[in-house]
A and B are shown apart, each in its own frame.
Chain A
Amino acid sequence: MEKVLLKNTENPNSADINEYKKVGGYQSLPKAFGMQPKEIIEEVKKSGLRGRGGAGFPAAMKWTFASADPKSPKYLLCNADEGEPGTFKDRQILEKNPHLLIEGMVISGYAIGTEYGFIYLRGEYPAAKDILNRAIKQAYDSGFLGDNILGKGVKFQLAVHQGAGAYICGEETALIESLEGDKGQPRIKPPFPVNVGVFAKPTVINNVETLSNLPYIIEVGGEVYSKIGSPECPGPKLYCVSGHVEKPGVYELPMGTTLREIIYTHCGGIKNGKKLKAVIPGGISTPVLPPDNIDCKMDFVNMPKHGSMLGSGAVIVMDETVCLVRVCYRALKFFEHESCGKCTPCREGTEWLRKILGRIENGEGAEGDIDLMLSVSSNMLGKTFCPLGDGAASVVQNFVRHFRPEFEEHVKNAKCRFK
C-alpha cells in the first residue's frame, strides 16, 4: 500500500515545508477551497473515515452537527494528547509530518466553518512542540494559515496548546476544560462539544491521525479512499507495536490487517524466538487477548467480536517471560495516577484495585482476593463518569478472565515466579 500518513517520513527533513511540498504537500488545499464546504463533508462521508482517537466515531457526522450550529465562532481542536500507554503513532505524524496535519486541519476547518484551531499537545512531547511551532510558522509565512489563505479569503488561525501531564485530557471534554485553563476533568454530556464546546462554542475535536487523512481524501476522493482496508471502516491505519517483537515501531497498513499479520509478518515475530503469551491490541485500556485469539482483524468493527477493541491501535506484545499480574498491577497504577478524581468509583476503585494487585504480586495475596478484585471492578464498570474508570475495571476483569491461573498461582505460592 502506498503510504499516506507516513509518506516521505524516512527523509530526515520531512518536517520541513519544502520537503512536504516536494512530495505533493499542500496540493489538496487549493482543491478543497474549490469545493463547497458541504461537498467536502460529503466526500468525507463517502470516504467512511472514522475517528482514530479510539472511539471510531464517523468524522463526517461530527462535522455536520458542528457546521449546522448557528453559534460562532467555531473551533477545531486537534487531539494530540496521545496518552494511552503503548501509543506512539501520533508522535510520528507530529514530529515527521506536521504539515500533513496542518493541511488536514485547514481543510476540515474550512469544511466545518471554523476560523480557529488549537492542537492540544501532550506536555511530554517537547520536541514535537518545537517542530509543530516551526511548521505552523512556515505555514503562516507561506500563506497556508492566517486571514487570507491562498488569497482565497479563507481564515484559519492555528496554535499549539501544551498539556501538562494528564492522561484524562485526551478525553474530549476534559481536553476542553484544560484548554480553557481548568483542571482536565470531563464535563457532563449533553451538551456535546459540537454544540457547546470550548469557550461555549461549537467545537469539533479530532485525533491527529484522523485529521491527517484529509489531504488524501481530497486528493483521491472519498470513493477511492473507501476502498482501502475494511469496508466498514476504511482507510490507512497506523499500528504502533511495542514489546517483545523483533521489529517494534509504527506501521501504516490498511485498516483491518490481522493482529497475527502485524506481529508475525510486519514485526518479524516474537523476539528471540520466545513464545507469545499475551497481546494488548489497542493500548492498555483495551482488553488483553490470549495467543489463540490473534487472527482478528484490527478494526473498529471486528475487534469487539473477539472480545477486545481497536482503541488507538497500540499493540503491546508480551512473551512467556512476562508476569501478567505485574502488568495488570502496573496498568492499575497508571489508572490510579491518572484518575482525575471527579467520580467516586474511579477515584477510589483504581486505588483499591492497585492495592489488591500489589499484594498479590508481592506474595501477600489472600484467598478471595481475586474475587474481591472482580467484585470491586464490577462495582466500577458502567458506573463511572467517563470511560477511564471503565477502562481500569475492564483491564482487571480481562486479565483475570484469560489468565486466572496465573493470579491463583501467585496467591497459592505466596510469591511471583517471574521475579
Chain B
Amino acid sequence: MFSEAAIKELEEIRQKYPSARAALLPAIYIAQKEFGWLSQDAYEAVANALGVPKAIARGVGTFYAMYKHKPLGRNIVQLCTNVSCMILGAERLVDFLKNKYGLEPGGTTPDGRFSLVIMECIGACGTAPAMLVNDDFYENLTEEYIEEILGKYK
C-alpha cells in the first residue's frame, strides 16, 4: 500500500495526463521510491492506484532498465561503459570497483552500501568516463577520483 504522501504525489502527476494509464511510468517510479524496489506488492499498489491490470503494470515496468526488480544497495553506482567511455578506460574502472570494493556488475557490496549497474551511454561522452551515483553525475573519472566520490556516500 502506498503512503499518503505517495498517493498525493501520484494524484498530482495523474492530473498531467489525459488518461490514468499514461501515469504508469511515473507511478512505478513512485513505487520504487516508496518500496525501494519493485516487488510484486509494489506493482499491486501501482495497479490498484491507477486501475491498470497488475500483469500489465508489471509487464511494462520490467521493460525499462532503470526500474529495479530486486533489492539493491543504499547507493547505486551507475557506470557507463559504452564506446566513448570504454575507449577512455571505463572497463578498467569496472575492474577497479571489483578489486577495490568487491563490487561486481549487477552486484551489491556485502554491507549493502553500493550496488553497481553497468549503463549504456549516459550522455557524458565529452567528459568520459562517467557515472551517476544515485542522481548525481560524475565525469572525467579516474580510479582516485572514484575513491574520493564513493567516500561521500555512506
Contact = CB atoms under 8 A, between A and B. Distances in A.
Whether the complex brings A and B within 8 Å at their CB atoms is answered yes
Interface of A: 82-88, 90-91, 122-127, 159, 161-167, 178-184, 199, 240-244, 248-250, 280, 284, 314, 316, 318, 322, 326-327, 330-331, 334, 337-338, 340
B21 to A, nearest CB: 4
A338 B120 contact: yes
A87 B24 contact: no
A244 B125 contact: no
Given A85-B125, A126-B135, A243 B22 contact: no
B23 to A, nearest CB: 7
Contacts of A338: 120
B29 interface: yes
B28 A124 contact: no
B26 interface: yes
A127 B137 contact: yes
Nearest to A88: B123
Nearest to A89: B123
Interface stretch (B77-85, B93-101, B108-116): B77-85
Given A124-B119, A162-B26, A88 B125 contact: yes
A242 B66 contact: no
Given A87-B125, A164-B67, A180 B19 contact: yes
Contacts, number: 134
B40 interface: no
A202 to B, nearest CB: 14
A165 B121 contact: no
B34 to A, nearest CB: 16
B15 to A, nearest CB: 9
Contacts of B87: 243-244, 316, 318, 322, 327
B6 interface: no
A180 B21 contact: yes
A318 B86 CA distance: 11
Contact of A240 (B63, B65, B66, B126): B126
Interface string B15-46: 01011011111101100000000000000000
B24, B64, B125 pick with most chain A CB within 10 angstroms: B125
A84 B135 contact: no
Contacts of B23: 181
Interface of B: 16, 18-19, 21-26, 28-29, 52, 59-60, 63-67, 78, 81-84, 86-88, 119-128, 132, 135-137
A88 B120 contact: no
19 contacts: A86-B121, A88-B126, A91-B123, A124-B132, A127-B137, A159-B16, A162-B25, A162-B26, A165-B67, A166-B63, A178-B25, A181-B19, A181-B24, A183-B59, A243-B87, A248-B126, A248-B128, A250-B126, A280-B83
A159 B14 CA distance: 12
B14 to A, nearest CB: 11
Contacts of B127: 248
A316 B125 contact: yes
A249 B65 CA distance: 27
Nearest to A123: B66
B125 A242 contact: yes
A183 B18 contact: no
Contact of B28 (A164, A248, A330): A164
Given A248-B127, A330-B81, A85 B25 contact: no
A126 B132 contact: yes
A126 B124 CA distance: 13
Contacts of B122: 124
A179 B22 contact: yes
B60 A182 contact: yes
B18, B83, B124 pick with most chain A CB within 10 angstroms: B83
A318 B83 CA distance: 10
Contacts of B64: 123, 163-166, 184
A123 B76 CA distance: 14
B63 A86 contact: no
A331 B78 CA distance: 18
